[in-house]
Every structure is written in C-alpha cells, then in structure tokens.
Structure 1
C-alpha cells in the first residue's frame, strides 16, 4: 500500500498541463460570479529538437524529460526500455546494494545460457563416446542411465562462477565508483514519436520544437509540413511539391488521429511492437498495471483510387489472413490482453481542399471504429 500511495503522488497528473487553485478568496468570488474557473493553468513549457532521420523529437533537458514522463508517460528513453532511467542504473552498477541493474541481469542471463549450452554439449559428447565404446564392447547401456547425465533447462543449475558473474567485487566497486563520478552528464534523452510531439505542441501547447539546423523554434505550419515530409520515401522527398506531400493517407496523420482520439478519452497510448501490435492502451500508465488492450491500427481508404496514387508504404492496408489474425490473437491472449482492431477511415482526397490539408482542421474528416477480437477457448467458455 505504501508503494502504491507513493506512485499515486509521483504520477498524479495525467498530462503536463496542470491546474492550481487561486488562493485569493476575493478573486475566486469575482471569478465565480462570471462563471470562470478559480484555477490557473500551469504550463511547463518543455523544449525538444526535431530529428528527421529517426522521425522523432528529442528531449535532452533532464527537467523536461521527467515532466513529460511523469505527467502522461510520453516518450521513451533511448537507452532504456521505457522510463529514462539510464543515469540511475549506471550509478548503481558496481555498488554493493545487492540489487542488480537491468544490464547486469542481462549479462548474468547470457553467461548462464552460454554455460548451459557448453555443459550440455560436453554431456552429449561424453554420452556419445560412451555409447560408441559400449557398442564396440558389445554392451547395452539402458536409457535410464544416460538420461540423467544430459542436463536440461529444467534440471541444470549454474555454477558458482556463473551465478556470481554480475556480483561486483571490491575492485569493481571502486572502478564503478570512479566511473560514476565521471558520469556527471546524462547521456540519455527522451525520444518522442512525431504523433506524441505534435499532440504536446498543438493540442496542449506545452512543447516548443526546434529545427536541428536553426536556433529558432519551428512554427506550427513548419512542424505540420516537416512531420509529414519525414514519412516520404528518400527518393521522392525532393521531387514532390507541397501539394503532393500533404495527403490524408500520410502515416503521420493516421497515427496522430489514433493517438489524439484515445489520449482525449483518458488512455495512455504506448508502442505495442513487443506484442506484435501497433499500440497498447493503459488505463493509468505502465507503472501502475499492465496494458489491457492491444490495438492493431488498420487504415481504410474511403476512395480506393487514392491507394494506387499514394507514395507511402502503409502497413495493414492489404486484407489480412486468418492465420495472421489467429497468431496475433493467440500472442495477446496469452498475456491477458484484449485484441482490438481499430479501423481508421482515410477521407477521400477529392473532397479535401488544400486549405484543409494544410492545417489540423482535416482531422475531423477521419472516422475511427473498433472491433474486439476474442479467442474462443471451449474449455473456459462453457459457463
């Protein structure tokens, strides 16, 4: 309960924009007469740099990274699995706390796996040599005698050296302490997807994005064009005009429509590539509980002719097979996630004007529909 209460305090704000009550009672009374909320908006004003090569926005400031992660779980640490905690993990490497970092755990597991393969290979080679000797002597070795000599993944135990490979010695503790003193700068940055960055910059107005080659911040029109241009194939980036770049089937627009829809409904949207899907939906965030829904984003063209003229390679546009659907459904049912097929209808290019495609006003033309897929298990669903 104590840990849960601490998480509730640390990750209490669902978005970077927070509201603070006005302490002046007279001002509260006057605002209440005119029907104005007695709260003032607190905007963190974070900053990031657009990186076209990785199609992301980098948050290098430690303060901004902490705010965007703790208030909505935006982005991902480029040196971490999720939360940007590289510096904290590096400071624990080599310390005698008894708690291993993820890097040390990985090194230990790899050493144990390598040792298991070597021990098993030696046991198989010894059993084969003994079988050849018994065959030459005309003896018969019972299977019960050879089976225990070959270790399996369930019966094999790591040696003392392998078990302690990630436990630091006194010399390694001293070296890690010296290294920690040198690592005063955080080498990790928070990496936002283009959809997350545009949501923070346009919908919440709490993120300022800078161009990588210019010191001044990018305008909303520049961000709108740059994020869509980043999804163009490299051989077409310089040959297409702005009219051809701004299309309703741009992958940036499709992914942003999905993220904005569910973020506005209170869900935390994270990548689902680990479970063979496009996105995962969390009720509160990854530090509280596992994701409940696994989302597959399926774009659907309102006008099929737009698909033939599209310069983009969009996934899940082609009809899927039942084998593909059964595979994804089985993977997510094993981890207790509900598979949802999210169909995003792309408006026809013929009924969109250039002015609509040049601004976020085109988002109201998209339509989202969801279909839940459940795996039928006869033994569990009789009741």
Structure 2
C-alpha cells in the first residue's frame, strides 16, 4: 500500500486541488527568472558557469502605517501577487489569504439562491450548540429542584424525576433566540385578497474591495532589501522612503513612546543591537534564506511558524520562540527595550508552551540570538543592514518526553 492508502497509480484524494495549488503557488518568491537568448547562447554561457536568465522584479507599493507598525499593500492585484509568490502578509479582514471580496461575492450568490455560506452554517451550529447547553442546564436545574422538594416533603432521595434531561442524540432544537426575535418583530400578515403591487427590483451595488494586505516590518524589509520589489510610501506625506529612512523608521517604531510623535521618527536617534526589529528580522531572514515560509505564530503562543511550502499545502511543522542573549550583560542594563524571553524560562511556562504545540503536531524550537556587545562592534555599523553579520543564531529543539509511549 502507498502512503496515501491507494495501491498503484490511482487517483489520490484531493488531487485536482493539489494540482491547482502547485500551479497557483509555483513561485516561492516574488522575483521571476525569464530565459533570454538562443539555445546556442545558453549552451555557450553554461560552459563558463553563467546563466542567460533575466531576473524580473515586480513593482509593489505599500504604505508604512506608524500606528500598527506594519506596511499596507492596498492594490488587490499586488496583494495577491505577494501572497501567491511566497505567502507574504495577511488580509486585514481575513485569517490569512486576502479573500474578503470573494467571500462577499459568494455570500451574495448564496443569498440569491436561498442557501447559506460556510461561515453562516458554522454560526448556526454554534448557536444551536449554545441553545442545547442552555436547555440541558435548565433541565438539570429543574430535576434538582424536584429532587430537593421530594426530600423536603417525604424525606426520601428521588433517583428519577419527571424532567427529561436532553442528550446530544435525543435533543431537538426549538426556535432559536434569533428566530424568535425575527418572529416578534415581524409585521402582521397582509390580506391575500388585496392586490399586491410588485416592487421594482433594485440593482445590486457593486461590492468594493476594502481589504488590504498587511505586511509585518520583517516581511516588508525582506521584500525591500533582499527582493528589491517593494516601495514603501510614508502615510503622512505619501512620498517614497529611501532605504536609509526605512531602516531608521522601522527601528524607531519599536522605541518606547506613549504617543506617536512625528519628530521622533525624524530625529537621529542612535540605534542599538538589541532593537526588537533587528532581532526579529535576523531570525526571519535566517529561516527565509533557508527556504522556509515564515509566518506569525501568536495563535500558538510562539513568535514564528515554519512551513515547508506554505499554509495551503500543509500545516506548520515547527514553532519558533525567539530568545535574545546578550553577549555583554552590561548592555542590558543600559537598554531602553524590555525584550521578551531574555530571562531563563520557568519549567511551568516551558512545559505549557511545549504541550500546546505538541497537541497540534508542531516541534518547539528555541532560537537563541546572540546580541553583539557594543564594546566589540563599532556603532557606525548600525547605520546600515551590514550590522546583521554580527548576530549569531543557535537552534535548540524541545520535545515532550512521555515515558509510557516512548519505550519503543
């Protein structure tokens, strides 16, 4: 038997969907390689170790939002380009892929046909589940009252009551609170003998796409510096920012400030190696350069999730927790940043986060990032991304040990 449970070369479950995903998400990065020249030219260049392919960089524009510490890509075609070529960002009105417009169109079509969308079906099931819990709790309370009344009157313990406690197999839903509210607010029925004038059909308004792709600062800088396919505009002036301005503003956005101050972004504030943007970007760049698709992992109490190909192909296999380590402990005393996971973990915290990720079949990795000492590295190196060469990373895998299951 094969791995997928089918012997021989038969069709596999979900094969059509898998083939469509392989075509749609064939490019792991936004850049493309286009062949140029004749076959003879390619063969001649190949002998000397050169390639005749031409690198094509797409042009994408984003707006740096200071309040949310993110970059917004508002054009839908550019947003889908970044999503389909590397799974960058997420839709602000969606869980991951910016699909709000398609969901709205599908919902309108289902309403026209008298059906329900998947989201509406899920909401209906949750409503029925809550009603079942309320009916069951009400029946248990009534049975307890009857038993207490019988004990008070006759002094006996009643094991059976007239109240039937519903179960998942026997319970039938009555009208939900939402349906009752609709019935109460409905108008009296019209007399069928009176002629009813047909109301003119109103033209449906075109649905405007109000969703945008939201990039983290790490994703945006990777597309700017490494891929050279993103131009960032200032949200206040709508002017393109230079690489040096982006480098400074992304770091200044992590400075502790109670309110947004425009002068803070324009001031020449000295950078530090323990800036959260630099630490998180180094980790993001490290795994991205090794071929992993890196996404946020706040849902599982971690910093990043690592996908082999992307969210549409399989679930994330590894969960990353970033652990900064100061090369010189004195730098921590003078730091304006309160970095997370600098102090040693408690066993309860480590066991909890490891159990959460084990339950969802993810391997927990503690990524220790060594912050270079200020005494060893010259400060002018922080003025450009070349300072990233001074960082070091070390991965430690944490697994749960279950004695009853791991004897073999």
TM-score range with shorter-chain normalisation? 0.7 to 0.9
Secondary structure of the corresponding residue to residue 320 of structure 2: strand
Q: Is residue 150 of structure 1 aligned with residue 160 of structure 2?
A: no
Alignment RMSD, CA only? 2.7
Q: Is the 8 A contact 2:132 2:173 kept in 1?
A: no
Q: CA deviation at 1:93?
A: 1.7
Q: Check 1:240–1:30 CA distance in 2 against 1; reply closer, same or farther (3 A cut).
A: closer
Secondary structure of the corresponding residue to residue 251 of structure 2: helix
Q: CA deviation at 1:342?
A: 0.6
In 1, Cα distance between equivalents of 2:265 and 2:245: 17
Q: Is the 8 A contact 2:139 2:163 kept in 1?
A: no
Q: Is the 8 A contact 2:150 2:158 kept in 1?
A: no
In 2, Cα distance between equivalents of 1:49 and 1:217: 9
Q: Is residue 211 of structure 1 aligned with residue 234 of structure 2?
A: yes
In structure 1, the partner of 2:306 is: 281
In structure 1, the partner of 2:331 is: 306
Q: Is residue 61 of structure 1 aligned with residue 84 of structure 2?
A: no
Q: CA deviation at 1:117?
A: 3.5
2:39 to 25, 28, 35: 25
Q: Is residue 348 of structure 1 aligned with residue 373 of structure 2?
A: yes
Q: TM-score, normalised by structure 2?
A: 0.83
In structure 1, the partner of 2:106 is: 92
In structure 2, the partner of 1:169 is: none
In structure 1, the partner of 2:246 is: 223
Q: Is the 8 A contact 2:147 2:161 kept in 1?
A: no
> After superposition, where does 1:171-186 map in structure 2 within 5 Å?
181-186=204-209
Q: TM-score, normalised by structure 1?
A: 0.88
Q: Is residue 192 of structure 1 aligned with residue 215 of structure 2?
A: yes
Instruction: State which drifts further: 328-337 or 16-25.
Output: 16-25
Q: Is the 8 A contact 2:143 2:162 kept in 1?
A: no
Q: CA deviation at 1:318?
A: 1.4
In structure 1, the partner of 2:52 is: 38
Secondary structure of the corresponding residue to residue 300 of structure 1: strand
In 2, Cα distance between equivalents of 1:31 and 1:288: 36
Q: String of CA shifts for 1:332-351, please: whole Å, max 9, x gaps.
A: 11111111111011111222
In structure 1, the partner of 2:136 is: 120
Larger fraction in helix: 1
1:14 to 8, 19, 28: 28
Q: CA deviation at 1:91?
A: 1.3
Secondary structure of the corresponding residue to residue 225 of structure 2: helix
Instruction: State which drifts further: 194-203 or 238-247.
Output: 238-247
Q: Is the 8 A contact 1:84 1:189 kept in 2?
A: yes
Q: CA deviation at 1:38?
A: 1.8
Q: Is the 8 A contact 1:108 1:163 kept in 2?
A: no
Q: Is the 8 A contact 1:115 1:158 kept in 2?
A: no
In structure 1, the partner of 2:344 is: 319
Q: Is residue 133 of structure 1 aligned with residue 149 of structure 2?
A: yes
Secondary structure of the corresponding residue to residue 375 of structure 2: helix
In 1, Cα distance between equivalents of 2:51 and 2:93: 42
Secondary structure of the corresponding residue to residue 86 of structure 2: coil
Q: String of CA shifts for 1:138-169, please: whole Å, max 9, x gaps.
A: 164544x35993346x557462655998xxxx
Q: String of CA shifts for 1:311-353, please: whole Å, max 9, x gaps.
A: 1121111111011000011111111111111101111122222
In 1, Cα distance between equivalents of 2:325 and 2:265: 24
Q: Check 1:131–1:160 CA distance in 2 against 1; reply closer, same or farther (3 A cut).
A: closer
Secondary structure of the corresponding residue to residue 351 of structure 1: coil
In 2, Cα distance between equivalents of 1:348 and 1:62: 44
Q: CA deviation at 1:195?
A: 0.4
In structure 2, the partner of 1:382 is: 407
Q: Is residue 76 of structure 1 aligned with residue 90 of structure 2?
A: yes
Q: CA deviation at 1:183?
A: 4.6
